[in-house]
Structures are given as structure tokens and as C-alpha cells.
Amino acid sequence: MSDKLKTIKIKNISDFVQQVDWAKVHGLAPVITQDYWSSRVLMLGYMNREALQKTLTEGKITYYSRIRSVLWTKGETSGNFQIVKKVFLDCDNDTILIKIKQKGVVCHTGRKTCFYQEIN
């Protein structure tokens, strides 16, 4: 097996959105965000079809809030936008990885990542 990245040619954004297996998690897909330069994991969120379409169209990450059942664009109120650099789909087509350029902090606690609690 090769560890080379496979580039998927898509004609339009809708083609990519359709490749995601939305049925596995009741119309949602987990989204991992990583820093584009360091590959540090920044946060985990969820998207539905509409959030992914908006993210790919506008170039800023929009998530789906499972608690409030609404779309929210990261940075809309804080100015801490996540700018899309690269998008990956996993081997099962049910998880999305997005490499981003982060404006400001990621976490609502004011930290650079939501993963700051290490278990010893």
C-alpha cells in the first residue's frame, strides 16, 4: 500500500459534498481541523451538507451546532475565523479533515487548540 495522497478531481463543490457518506451519522460528518503549517489538531466539530457547501463556497469554516441545530461560522462574533487551505475526506467517506489558517484563538477558553487537557 502507498501512503501517497490521492487527489480527487471534482467538477464542482456539489460533487464533493455528494461524496460524503451522510447516512452514517444521521446527516452529519465529524470535521477535524488542523493548522495548515504545523498540522496541530485544533478542534473537532460537525457539518451537515449545507455547512460543508457554505464552507467550500466561502472559504471560511461553517459548522453545524448539534445542540442548537443551526449553522455557525467560526469567527462570526469573535473575529477568530478559520480560513480553508486544504480539504481531505477519509477512506470511509464519513470524516472530513480541513487544514486551516486560524485567525486568533481557536477555543472559547482563549487557547490555540481545544485539545489542551492531557491525560497522565
Annotated binding site for Zn(2+): 91, 107, 114
Alpha-carbon span 62 to 40, nearest angstrom: 20
Buried b (16+ CB within 10 A) or exposed e, 58-71: eebbbbbeeeeeeb
d(CA 87, CA 68): 25
Cα(116)–Cα(111) distance, integer angstroms: 8
Per-residue exposure over 78-91, b if at least 16 CB sit within 10 Å of its own CB, e if not: eebbbbbeebebee
Q: Which residues are documented as binding site for Mg(2+)?
A: 90, 92, 94
Which residues line the annotated binding site?
90-92, 94, 107, 114
